[in-house]
Each structure stands twice: as structure tokens, then as C-alpha cells.
Amino acid sequence: MPAQPPLRVIQWATGAVGADALHSVITRPEFQLSGVLVYDPDKVGLDAGPLVGLPETGVRCVDDVDHVLASEADCVLHMPLPAAYFGGDYAADLQTVCALLASGKNVITTTGFIYPQVYGPAVVERLEAACQAGGTSVYGTGINPGFMSDLLPLALSGLSTRLDHIYVRESSDYVGHPSRQIVMDLIGFGRAPKEYATTVRPFRNVQRALFSESVQLVASALEVRLDEVEETDEYELAAEEFEIAAGTVRPGTVCASRWIFSGLVRGRPFMTVECVYKASAAKVRRWPEPGFAIHIEGRPQMMLTIDEVSHGLAGAAAHAVNSIASVCAAPPGIRTLLDLPLATGRGTTRLA
């Protein structure tokens, strides 16, 4: 059987997650880098390889969306920050994704689209029309949520004879996260309480949208109709000054936050996702230590814990990259994790 040609991939955005994805696309032989779109003016015109510590590839970074739309490629790894982070809304990302799909490129995105059905038939029809026009598929992997709060609970549910409640907890340590834009400006660490209340609004909107998609996806897969997804959040103030990779956290400023998303049926939670974000786990003792936990309440009772995930952003990038082949092979339309084979690390092993 003749070898399959490599899949042509465009990397859209090269931030913390996008850079990891770009590195994988360049170094894995089953992919061919076809283009890179960047937002930083200082990156425009640079070769993509040295941008992630690799030799030159011959592919130059551009900031021209029309150039990307006109380029030939099998898939776009769409990894910018969601438009809502900048005061926009879901419609802005929807417009971009639809344009890419209609241009004949499959799209894997971390900006949402985990379960677009949450937004109603108009959004679904628009996405499906773009997919049919381009003969393409769209798949949202998410950064947070994604995998831990949907795929793993569903996998465990296969062992259940009765499901009463699904609880997922994620606790993340941002001490080493390099992006000031994300850690300080968006999540709000290092801000005084009054300032935090104002600046965290875009982040709250994104959180509510993403986790509603994830919780609704799990419920739909289990044939449970939710009445609503409820969100609450709170924060902790620093008792002392300390440094993290993204900047300085001073006493009396926000150093951690806790978010709870509950999918309710007749006022009772069917699925609850708790997210804890800490500027530094060593400095914040309140709330759980970094790691993941999944509790399945029912018959049988189950609990899965993951004490630590190092390089979590690399994991988010890998989830998207490892899905490329399945998405490109899928029939046109909206794809969710329920439609695709499990994305494994096949082809990534490194044996001595």
C-alpha cells in the first residue's frame, strides 16, 4: 500500500498552546506545515521553525487572514484566545471558523465549539452550512474545559448501572505560566478586589460559555436534559508579596479563584465542575492542591484522581494535534468527541 501524503496543516496563533502545537506539526512526519498566522507584529515574516526552537522550515509567519483563507491546507489548528476575552463575543469566532470551513479547510479549535448546539439552531445551521460548502468538519477540543471534564467522565460512566451525580474538580497552579495577558489581565491575579470585579467580566463570560458547552455535552451523551447551567465564583487575597512567571502578586490582591458550574435538573445538580486557579500553589493553601478528581455517584461509586499534570498547556495542544487525522477523515459537519475515535498519542512514542 502506498504511503499516505502528509496532512497539510496551518497553525493559527502561536501563544502558549499554539507554540506547542506548532512544534508538534513541524516535527511529526505525518504533517506538513502549510502556514502560520500570528498576532504579534514582531513575529511577522519570521520563519516558523526558530519561533519554537527548531531549524528553519521555509514557512514564514503572516498576519493576513485573507492569505490564510486562500492557502491550500487540509486542516487549521485554530488557537487564538476567544474573542470574548477582548470584549467581543462568540459571533466573532463563529465568523472566522465558518470562513475557514467554507474555504475547504477542516478546523480544530480551542476557542470553544465543544458542543455548539448549546447556542441554538441558528449557530448550528450556520456551522453546518459552512461545512457543507467546504466539504469540511469542525471540532472543538477546548483548553479548559476539554478531555478531563467531558471525555473522562463519559468513559467512567460506561461502568455505571445508575448515575446520580458527576463531579469533576480541576486545580491548576499558574506559578510558571509565562503569559501576563492570561494570568494577570484575564484571570485577574495581582489585581485589587474592586479592579478584579470589573476586569474579570470577560473571563467570566468565556468560562460560562465553555463550561456550559462541556456540561451540556456530557448530559446530552447520557440522555439527560438539563434545565440550566449555574455558575458561581469567589476569590482569595494574597497575605504576602510573591513572584510568579507572569509578574508580581502583592498583599491584598487576588491570588486565587474558585469557579463552580452545575448542570441542574429540577433544581438538583446532575453534573458539577469545580475549577480552582492559583497564582502559586505554594502560597495559596485554601482549596485543593493541583490535580484532577472525578467522582461518579451512583452504582457503583467511583473516584479517579490525577495528582499532577506537568506541562498542561502541552497536553491541551496535543489533544488538538492528535485529533487532526480523525477530523480530516470525518464526514463534513460539526464533530464532537462523541463522533470521533479516541485521540491517542499514536505516532508520538520515542523509543531508545
Domain regions of the chain by residue span: 7-141+323-335, 151-308
- Phi, psi at 144, each rounded to 5°: -150, 110
CATH 2.60.40 fits 151-308, yes or no: no
Coil, strand or helix at 154: helix
Q: pTM of the full predicted structure?
A: 0.90
Q: Which of 148, 129, 103 is nearest to 12 (CA)?
A: 103
State mean pLDDT over 208-216.
Answer: 88
Check the CA dihedral 171-175-176-180 and report its sign: positive
State mean pLDDT over 61-76.
Answer: 97
The three cell numbers locating residue 254: 487576588
% of the chain with per-residue pLDDT over 90: 74
Over residues 308-351, the pLDDT tens digits come to 777 777 888 999 999 999 999 999 999 998 888 877 667 665 65
The three cell numbers locating residue 121: 439552531
CATH 3.10.20.90 fits 7-141+323-335, yes or no: no
